[in-house]
Structure 1
Amino acid sequence: MTAFSDLKLDPKVIKAIDEAGYTTPTPIQAGAIPHALEGRDVLGIAQTGTGKTASFTLPMITLLQKGRARARMPRSLVLAPTRELAAQVAENFDVYAKHTKLTKALLIGGVSFKEQDQLIDKGVDVLIATPGRLLDHFERGKLLLTGVQIMVVDEADRMLDMGFIPDIERIFSLTPFTRQTMFYSATMAPEIERITNMFLSSPARIEVARQATASETITQGVVMFRAGRRDREATEKRALLRAMIDAEGEACTNAIIFCNRKVEVDVLAKSLKKYGYDAEPIHGDLDQSQRTRTLDGFRAGSVRILVASDVAARGLDIPAVSHVFNYDVPSHAEDYVHRIGRTGRAGRSGKAMMICVPKDEKNLADIERLIDKEIPRLEPPEGHKSAPAPVPAASDEAGEEKRPRRSRSRSRSRDEAPSEAPKQAPEPVEAEAKASPEAAPEAVESPRDETPRETETRNESRGEGRSEGRGGRRGEGRGRRGGKDDAVVGMGDDTPAFIAKSFAERRAG
């Protein structure tokens, strides 16, 4: 069995490894470190949790022992897709390089540029960064990459998934052609093949496990869930998750719950807190200081449940996670491997459970096709009760009763309205005229008061003899044009009563 002492690492690095409690390298470390120490490009493919970070950190520290950093010109560069992963790489570097004089700088969002600029100005041996913040410093003229001797891309497939291809290509173009390049990833997508062919020179390919496989120490399962009512799916699904957590009892010492959307992360974390669970959210939209506090609390045990988006799915080394719950089936099958890889690390046992609703069954099939095995189906926990679903027969009968009622009400309104409107409309005006003869002309002159008469006139004009009325009116209109005694010229029987009344009053005056 290979030991770290057999890998030709610097004695100071070996001492740090011994103090950290490690004696035997993992397969990816044993396969990649010798090639990296020879200066070759490395393409490392291994499932998450197998020690990829140490497989490039240890040879980097050994190779950088000779030489000296210059201001604004880092000697090596490590790119990570997320702030958390970059911070974790920095922590590993601190552990393994504590007996050396090598310096580092961490460039991530959420930290002031001023502090980062001060570190760069002093000169650093190792620069650990996310692509966006690295390019920000470069464009501000605070950083030069022409002195980079070793370049590492960690979680390369995640870089590509997050749309960093243009940034990665630009960063590569800013580094020397003679650099040593190492790509590390859990999966090997066709797009990564193109990138590696473009930027790596005859790399040593180290693949210690079949692509996209889950650790054998993880017990997997999925609950097929169908809500009683569509509008209650979210509520019933959250109730099912709580029942699953409760069913695990004391075995669930801590857990990470993964959601597909950031909004769902916040909603679910708030719901769990409401029901008394110690849960905190973490996703990319949160402030960096809050994300750091949440992760530190989860590692320390003060936070039991971490509700996360995929920002926490890749590369985060959180020890002793007992459970992973996939509240949503990941839309990308590869993400499933990374999510459940947060548990069962370093030979520990873990449990990964998932909730699948009908719309996610296609994604579930893609996952099973990728991992080349069927995920065992689990029954919902005993005592779990979904919201009461409506009985189909009752709902159908209710629907049948409502439809005829609406149709009858419409038929009554159509049949009764024409007969009632002419009878009821004139009554208020006639009553007012009888009660106050002097006020009657004023009431007639008001267009609002005459609205019923206008309605009655229109209803009469829409009667059965409408076509005859049109013809008669046209004929009468032609005959009246020369008459002098006509009250209104050109409007015929369609003249509103209040207009005709006003003309009659003027003629009488």
Structure 2
Amino acid sequence: MFSQFALHERLLKAVAELKFVEPTPVQAAAIPLALQGRDLRVTAQTGSGKTAAFVLPMLNRLVDLKQKRVEIRALVLLPTRELAQQTLKEVERFSQFTFIKAGLITGGEDFKEQAAMLRKVPDVLIGTPGRLLEQLNAGNLHLEHVQVIVLDEADRMLDMGFAEDVERLCNECPNREQTMLFSATTGGAGLRDMIGKVLKTPEHLMLNSVSQLAEGTRQQIITADHNQHKEQIVQWLLQNETYDKAIIFTNTRVMADRIYGHLVAKDYKAFVLHGDKDQKDRKLAIERLKQGGAKILVATDVAARGLDVDGLDLVINFDMPRSGDEYVHRIGRTGRAGNEGLAVSLICHGDWNLMSSIERYLKQTFERRVIKEVKGTYSGPKKVKASGKAAGVKKKKTDKKGDKKVVAKRKPTAKPKPNAPLASSDGLAPLKRRKPAPAAE
């Protein structure tokens, strides 16, 4: 029960209003430590309730502030606009019975309007690193009184090249008392480096090992001959699988637009989401998907983080993601909060090695699936070793190291008889042999 946590009564009232009863494992592990003011580094699978795990302790720190609102007290950094907008909604939901105000700073919105909002000084500021730095450089953002920083999806921020931006923003908060870092993957050396720079003697909480991520999702691969064949498989899946909502992931904006165009031509209710879309279109696409106005979203990895849509039970990787962490975040869109989902990856010849490396990273083996109606010729790399007899080789003695040497059998070439006429290269009469010239003295 959430009542077991030492949360302010106004926050517990909001929790009850939202019908939160039992905390998830990540909430049960992180909230008590966060309430003690500890720095945290938390790894937990997507859809496990990480947002509430940091929002509630953060709000609890601010709820009893008596002084007039003149400084930003909490900063939440996130990699994408969509995740930032979703986090703002969560903060507003949990703070509905308090006087805490939150603000949002992301790209794609009017810079001057954001500056005006900053002059009102929200208690909690939520944003993406790039636009926050722009406001900081313009003199509109002051962070010296920030008490708590949250880095959500920190590994993704590193993948997107925000490492220096995040570090600078953290350095702009010299008086912070607590830093919490959350992600769905363990990340690599870059993340460990960031942890060493921004966290002080953190408590490490790993709620899921990599091999346990997305346990509620069936993971399948289907081999394909080429992109056109992949498109046929996508059409078959959308027509024959049982799903409420689906996402098709591509690695490029061009391919996302191409697939979206084919779906619309076949009267599917679909939207496309990628970096070339302006903020208005991106908001519309996500809202339509959430409300059921569209059943299918075609997207690049801009949608792989922070997209929480009820009823999303089918993910199709048209292109295999470029890393194991990105794969985890893509398929994490389905099978959330204990529900079941299906993730299907389409594999051509050039995708096989990448797929195998992701299997090794996850310590899992994906289910191989064949659809007879759209079966192609490619079925994975062939491992055929020719026998010695078939290859026309014979064994020879071993070398000094004991390795066997093999040589191919060859028919001996016949040596011409001394007086035999030579055949001409043009197939005409045989040439006569000439007597050798006398040696020079």
| TM score, norm. by length of structure 2 | 0.83
Contact 2:145 2:175 in 1 (8 A): no
- Corresponding residue number in structure 2 for 1:75: 73
What is the letter of the counterpart of residue 52 of structure 2? A
Contact 1:219 1:350 in 2 (8 A): yes
Paired residue secondary structure (1:286): coil
- Corresponding residue number in structure 2 for 1:427: none
What is the letter of the counterpart of residue 199 of structure 2? L
Over the matched positions of the two proteins, sequence identity in percent amounts to: 40
Paired residue secondary structure (1:169): helix
Q: Going by fraction, where is helix more abundant, 1 or 2?
A: 1
Deviation at 1:69, TM superposition (A): 5.8
* Distance in 1 separating the partners of 2:127 and 2:68: 17
1:239-254 equivalences under 5 Å are 239-248=232-241, 251-254=242-245
Change (3 A) 1:198 1:385: closer
2:374 maps to which of 384, 395, 400:
384
1:314-353 equivalences under 5 Å are 314-353=305-344
Paired residue secondary structure (1:383): helix
- Corresponding residue number in structure 1 for 2:153: 155
1:101-180 equivalences under 5 Å are 101-180=99-178
- Corresponding residue number in structure 1 for 2:396: none
What is the letter of the counterpart of residue 66 of structure 1? D
- Corresponding residue number in structure 1 for 2:362: 371
1:12-91 equivalences under 5 Å are 12-67=10-65, 68=67, 70-71=69-70, 73-91=71-89
Deviation at 1:118, TM superposition (A): 2.1
* Distance in 1 separating the partners of 2:169 and 2:245: 39
Deviation at 1:47, TM superposition (A): 1.1
- Corresponding residue number in structure 2 for 1:200: 199
- Corresponding residue number in structure 2 for 1:238: 231
Contact 2:26 2:50 in 1 (8 A): yes
> Is the aligned partner of 1:355 residue 2:346?
yes
Contact 2:211 2:364 in 1 (8 A): no
Paired residue secondary structure (1:202): coil
1:373-452 equivalences under 5 Å are 373-380=364-371, 382-384=372-374
Deviation at 1:212, TM superposition (A): 5.7
Q: What value does the CA root-mean-square deviation take over the aligned residues?
A: 1.5
Is 176-185 or 143-152 further displaced after alignment? Answer: 176-185
What is the letter of the counterpart of residue 265 of structure 1? A
Deviation at 1:383, TM superposition (A): 2.6
The count of residues paired between Structure 1 and Structure 2 equals 375
Structure 2 alignment gaps of length 5 or more: 378-441
Deviation at 1:84, TM superposition (A): 0.1
2:248 maps to which of 257, 265, 269:
257
| CA-to-aligned-CA distance 1:130-158 (integer Å, 9 cap, x gap) | 00110111111111110110000000100
Higher Cα radius of gyration: 1
| TM score, norm. by length of structure 1 | 0.72
Deviation at 1:311, TM superposition (A): 1.0
2:274 maps to which of 276, 283, 287:
283
Runs of 4+ off more than 3 Å: 68-71
- Corresponding residue number in structure 1 for 2:405: none
Paired residue secondary structure (1:322): strand
Structure 1 alignment gaps of length 5 or more: 227-232, 388-509
Deviation at 1:51, TM superposition (A): 0.7
* Distance in 2 separating the partners of 1:153 and 1:212: 24
Q: Going by fraction, where is strand more abundant, 1 or 2?
A: 2
